[in-house]
Amino acid sequence: MINTLLIFPIIAAVLVLVIKNKKFDTAMVNLYALLHFVITTMICCGFGDKNASAYFAVDDTNLIFLLVLSVVYLAVAVYNTGYVKSFEVSERRISHYSFMILVFVLSMTGTLLSTDLGLAWVLVEATTLSSAYLIYFNKTKHSIEAAWKYVFICSIGIALAFVGIILLNISSANVNSLNFNELYKYAESFDVNWLKMAFVFMLFGFGAKMGLAPVHFWLPDAHSEAPSPISALLSAALLNSAFLVIVRVYKIVTLAGCANSARFLLILMGFISLFITAVFVYHIKNYKRMLAYSSIENMGILAIGLALGGAAHFALILHLIGHSLAKASFFLTSGNVLELFQTKRIKSVNGIMKADKKTAWLWVLSFLAICAFPTSVLFISEFLIVKTMIEQKHYILCALFLLLLTIILYGIGYVVIKTSFGKISEDKAKLVEENRHKVSVCMYIPQIIMLIHVFVLGIYIPPFLNNIINLAAANF
């Protein structure tokens, strides 16, 4: 089944390039999404072999990441079905768009399933190359600038990560393998000084891809300029893929007995990410850019949770699930707003509630979900992280954490309320009426389903999902 996840998109991508038909392209994207979801669900239920080869396998650590990717991709594919109908571009460009989506999801899937650090490094770079075209798809001045910045910064990051892999190999002495299980097995014998240096390079390298400050500069531009379905995949799936590699490297450092310096760096970058978001969220004029900074904030929370350990590991997995679903919903809904108002400028969007009530309520509920409003599962995750900080007597960090989250909440909330409930001008009302047909039923359903899951998981976590989360947390 794992081989199917990796081979099918290659075949589908070739067919998409050859046939160049809009309906066929969309069908291939949807078929892979459905296949991805069905296979992942079967693996979660214990069916099939979890080891495809020596290089790709499902384990307790990556299973939850794979499940999140599968759910988000399925939601994005359904939304994309309605979204591409309004594309006024050639069949050739749409085939390129669909081709790159297939390759992008394949690269992320491969990264998550990789059992080898070197292979994971290659596939992380593949996600950069495949998603760069998707960011540039609209072919505007800002989109090409965002794409170049994305490629440039992530390439520097991947180069730093490569140096980290070299240093890790030096520290491992006689262990001539980059297989994660081999590295875990012999971690205690690694040279601590070389390993610490390796972690610094890999944290900054893969952290650039994850969107951690201060190596986050590509993220606001890329997420704001990409088509909305791609923004959702970037924020809710790509960042998780890079985070998983950091988790695996952090486990090596922990087993080697030198985790204190790694924890310090994770907490430092986590709080810098929160601080950067708190500062910039009040100076943003583009609502998609605002959502991008929210992703930086949440990646910072994941880094902090990883460093704290204990119950915070369970919390960070809950947070990863909640953020992925809520942020995907937020970005997809921003696509509805863009279709209706034909602008990303915050000051030019008012009265979404009067323009389209379904979009407006999705906009508001996505905000409530991402800001950890009860019963959002993010409320539980952030509560557990705060609880862990208090138990470990990090009182100052806890106070700073809550302060920064409150500032960010107010900044995003102000924009959401202003755009949702403000008065809509006659000109805008006329424009909205002309564009209303562009927002189909496929562009509402995915957000509704994801938001239901976010708020239900804050009250009840099914036993099978709770077991998957616990197994993952135990292996961090």
**Contact 255/172 with Cβ under 8 angstroms?**
no
Residue 172 DSSP code: T
When pLDDT is averaged across residues 281-296 and rounded to a whole number, the result is: 91
Q: Say what the pLDDT of residue 52 is.
A: 64
Mean pLDDT over the full length of the chain? 92
pLDDT digits (tens, 9 = 90+) for 315-369: 999 999 999 999 999 999 999 999 999 889 998 888 899 888 999 999 999 999 9
**Contact 183/231 with Cβ under 8 angstroms?**
no
Residue 170 DSSP code: H
Query: What is the rounded distance in angstroms from the CA atom of residue 152 to the CA atom of residue 218?
Result: 9
Query: What is the rounded distance in angstroms from the CA atom of residue 116 to the CA atom of residue 176?
Result: 12
60, pLDDT greater than 70: yes
When pLDDT is averaged across residues 13-37 and rounded to a whole number, the result is: 92
**Contact 300/273 with Cβ under 8 angstroms?**
yes
pLDDT digits (tens, 9 = 90+) for 102-113: 999 999 999 999
Q: For residue 273, what are the CA distances in angstroms to 214, 216, 317?
A: 7, 8, 18
431, pLDDT greater than 90: no
Q: Is the pTM of this model over 0.85?
A: yes
Q: Say what the pLDDT of residue 282 is.
A: 86
95, pLDDT greater than 70: yes
pLDDT digits (tens, 9 = 90+) for 241-288: 999 999 999 999 999 988 899 999 999 999 999 999 999 988 888 999
Amino acid type, 356: D
Collapsing DSSP to helix, strand or coil, 116 comes out as: strand
pLDDT digits (tens, 9 = 90+) for 48-58: 777 767 789 99
For helices 445-457 and 311-341, the axis angle rounded to 10 degrees is: 150
How many C-beta atoms surround the C-beta of residue 70 within 10 A? 26
For helices 91-113 and 117-136, the axis angle rounded to 10 degrees is: 160
What single string gives the DSSP state of each residue in 177-225?
--BHHHHHHTGGGS-HHHHHHHHHHHHHHHHHHHT-TTS-THHHHHHHH
What single string gives the DSSP state of each residue in 120-138?
HHHHHHHHHHHHHHHHHTT
CA angle in degrees (0–180, nearest 5) for 165-10-77: 95
Q: How confident is the model at residue 430 (pLDDT cuts 50, 70, 90)?
A: confident
Q: Say what the pLDDT of residue 424 is.
A: 81
With residue 440 as reference, give the H or E element that holds it: none
**Contact 386/402 with Cβ under 8 angstroms?**
yes
Q: How far is CA 172 from the centre of its chain?
A: 31
Residue 371 DSSP code: T
- More confident: 2 or 12: 12
Amino acid type, 415: V
CA angle in degrees (0–180, nearest 5) for 6-9-14: 130
Query: What is the rounded distance in angstroms from the CA atom of residue 37 to the CA atom of residue 389?
Result: 36
Q: Say what the pLDDT of residue 452 is.
A: 96
CA angle in degrees (0–180, nearest 5) for 312-197-156: 90
When pLDDT is averaged across residues 190-196 and rounded to a whole number, the result is: 92
Query: What is the rounded distance in angstroms from the CA atom of residue 170 to the CA atom of residue 122?
Result: 20
**Contact 425/348 with Cβ under 8 angstroms?**
no
pLDDT digits (tens, 9 = 90+) for 141-180: 889 999 999 999 999 999 999 999 999 999 987 788 889 9
Q: Say what the pLDDT of residue 47 is.
A: 82
**Contact 267/304 with Cβ under 8 angstroms?**
yes
Query: What is the rounded distance in angstroms from the CA atom of residue 437 to the CA atom of residue 160?
Result: 47
